[in-house]
Amino acid sequence: MQRIKLSDLAEGQTYKKCLFSPLGQKVADPAEPVTAAHKEHLRRQGHEEVLLAGGLDELAAEKVVQHFEAWKLQAGVSVEHGILSAAGQVLLEPGQTVEQHHLDAIDASGKIYAMPAHGTQDKRRWQIISEALVKEIERNITVADLRVALASENPWPAEAPVGDWPDRQRLAAIRQEGVEKLRRLYAHIQAGLHVNVQEFVESADELMGWLAGHPSRFTQLALLAKRREDYLPDHGYTVAVLAMSIARRLRWTRENVRQCGVAGMLFDVGMLMIPQQVRNSSEALSDVDRSRVLSHPAYTLGLLELVDGVGQEMRLAGLQHHERENGTGYPRGLRKDAISDMARVIAVADIFAAMTEPRKYRLPKLPYMAMEELLHAASSVTVWKPAVRALVQAAGLFPVGSFVKLSDGRSAQVVGAHADQFDRPIIQPVRASGKEQEDETVAWDGQPIDLAEVPKSRLTVVRAILSAAA
C-alpha cells in the first residue's frame, strides 16, 4: 500500500492499482484517469491523501479496514460501522438499518469489510461521480438523444399469437423468474461489480416474444400477478412491461421498444441507495432526506457506470424520469421537448406502477382509479399525453387486473385490452365467494370472454368494482 498526498494527484494521471480514500472506499479503478471531480470531492470530505493498493485485502493487512463476517448482519439490524463490498463500494453507512437488498449485495460481493470508526464519513463513490456525470450528459445532449423516431412502416402487424398465453400459475412463474434475475443483477451493481447490459437485453428479448404474440394480454405480466411491497426489482419488472406496452402502441421500432424495456429495468437503481424508512415515509421528510430522494436520478447515473454497454438514451431515462411536462418535476425542472421521449414513457409507466403497488403506508389504488388520475395528469399537461393514450390502448380504460360488474349481473376480472375499443376488454368471469381468498387468488369461472366480439346489446361493462366479492 502506498500513501499519496492529494496535492500530488494530477488530473489525467492513471495508476496500475486502485485509489482508495483513507476510509477504504474505492475512488478510482486501475487505469482510470484522475479528474477534478475526484480531487474536489476528496477535499470536501476532509481527506489530505489517498491510498494506492491492489484491493481491500491489502488495506486490511495495513489495518485501514477490517474483515467483517457477513453472518453477523441480519435484516432489520442497524450497523455500528460502515460496511464495504470487496469492490470498495459502500454498502451500509454507520447506523443504517440492513435491508434485504443489502444482504443480496453482500452475497454477490463474497467478502465484506468494516470501515474505520473514526473520521468523517465518506461521500460514496457513486455520489462523487454522479454529479460530474450529470454535467457531462447535459453538456452533450443532442436532439437525436431526446427524440425517438417513429417506424416508417408498422413494425407490429396485427396480433398473431405464437403458442398459447400462459395460465395464471405459469404467468406468475415467468414474472418471478424475471424479477429474481433483476434482483441478482441489482445486487452485483450495488456491490460495485460490473455487469453487461446484455443481461438486461436478454430479459427484454424474452418479453418481446410475449409482446409480439399477445399484445392484448401482455400487460398481465405487470398487473395481474401479485406484487411485493416496496421491492425494487419487482417495480423495475412492472415498469419494463408497461413501458414496452406503451412504446409498442406509439409505433416505435422493435429496437426502441427493446431499449425502453431495458431502461425500465435500470431507471431506478439509484433508489437502492435511499434507506427504506425514507422511501416509505408517509410524513414530511427532513431537508437532508428530501435532498437524497431528489438526488436518486443522479445516483442512478453513477451506478449505471457499472453497466457495461448501457446507452445514452437509457442514461437519460434514468436522469429525467421525474421531470414533468409543465416544469414541476426534478432534478432540473425541464419542460416538454427538453425531456427525452424514453424518459416520458418511463415516467408514465413508473407512476401507474407505483399507484397500483402496495406500500407500507397505503393500500394499492384500483387500476381504474389509477388510470383516471393519469388521464387527469395528462389533461393538465403534467405527463406526456401520447404515452398516457398509449397506456390506455395497451392496458384498457378498465386496466388489466381490474374487477368490473357486467350488465348481466356477473362480476369479472379484466385480462386483456384492445387498442381501438377501450371499453370492450377481454374479461374473465369470477365466482363471488363473499370474501377474498386467503392466497389472494380469485376463483375464475369458465372461459374468458372477448367483449369486442360480443354485441353491446348482449353484454357490456357497467362499472368498475372494488373486488370480485363486490
pTM above 0.85, yes or no: yes
Task: Please check whether residue 27 lies inside any domain of the structure.
Answer: yes
User: What CATH number does the domain containing 175 carry?
Assistant: 1.10.3210.10
Among the candidates 395, 428, 456, a domain finishes at: 395
| Percent of the chain scoring above 70 in pLDDT | 92
Q: Give the pLDDT score at 422.
A: 84
Q: Do 50 and 21 touch, CB atoms closer than 8 A?
A: yes
Q: Give the pLDDT score at 156.
A: 74
Q: Strands 195-196 and 307-308, how do they pair? A: parallel
Task: Please check whether residue 470 lies inside any domain of the structure.
Answer: no
50 is written with which cell numbers? 489517498
Same domain, 424 and 453: yes
H or E segment and range at residue 19: strand 18-20
Average the pLDDT over 1-7 and give the result.
93
pLDDT tens per residue across span 42-65: 887 788 999 999 999 999 999 999
Task: Please check whether residue 122 lies inside any domain of the structure.
Answer: no
The residue with greater pLDDT, 204 or 465, is 204
Same domain, 425 and 391: no
Same domain, 366 and 408: no
Nearest alpha carbon to residue 176 among 240, 226, 239 = 226
The domain in which residue 273 lies consists of 131-395
Q: Give the pLDDT score at 364.
A: 84
Same domain, 332 and 444: no
Split at pLDDT 50, 70, 90, the class of 290 is confident
Count how many domains the chain has: 3
Same domain, 93 and 190: no
Same domain, 187 and 260: yes
Task: Please check whether residue 125 lies inside any domain of the structure.
Answer: no
Average the pLDDT over 226-239 and give the result.
88
Task: Please check whether residue 19 lies inside any domain of the structure.
Answer: yes
| Percent of the chain scoring above 90 in pLDDT | 64
pLDDT tens per residue across span 184-215: 999 999 999 999 999 999 999 999 999 999 99
Same domain, 289 and 385: yes
Q: Residue 73 CA to chain centroid, in angstroms? A: 26
pLDDT tens per residue across span 420-441: 888 899 999 998 654 444 344 5
pLDDT tens per residue across span 83-123: 999 999 989 988 889 999 999 999 999 999 999 875 445 55
Task: Please check whether residue 373 lies inside any domain of the structure.
Answer: yes
pLDDT tens per residue across span 371-400: 999 999 999 999 999 999 999 999 998 999
Among the candidates 52, 81, 115, a domain finishes at: 115
Residue 216: count other Cβ atoms within 10 Å of its Cβ: 22
Report whether pLDDT(248) > 50.
yes
Same domain, 360 and 427: no
Q: Strands 90-92 and 66-68, how do they pair? A: unpaired
Among the candidates 395, 413, 431, a domain finishes at: 395
Q: Give the pLDDT score at 218.
A: 95
Same domain, 245 and 348: yes
**φ/ψ of residue 426, rounded to 5:** -90, 125
Nearest alpha carbon to residue 468 among 423, 427, 417, 429 = 429
Same domain, 96 and 232: no
Q: Give the pLDDT score at 118.
A: 59
Residue 315: count other Cβ atoms within 10 Å of its Cβ: 25
Average the pLDDT over 283-295 and give the result.
83
Same domain, 159 and 68: no
Beta bridge partners of 51: 3, 20
Same domain, 83 and 201: no
pLDDT tens per residue across span 319-349: 999 999 999 999 999 999 999 999 999 999 9
Report whether pLDDT(151) > 50.
yes
Q: Give the pLDDT score at 173.
A: 95
Task: Please check whether residue 349 lies inside any domain of the structure.
Answer: yes
The C-alpha cell 398516457 sits at 388
Q: Give the pLDDT score at 437.
A: 42
pLDDT tens per residue across span 163-175: 789 988 999 999 9
The residue count of the chain comes to 470
Task: Please check whether residue 250 lies inside any domain of the structure.
Answer: yes
Average the pLDDT over 449-463 and give the result.
93
Q: Which whole-number Å values give the CA distances from 85 to 60, 62, 175, 190, in the listed order? A: 13, 17, 29, 9
Report whether pLDDT(128) > 70.
no
Q: Give the pLDDT score at 136.
A: 77
Mean residue pLDDT across the chain: 89
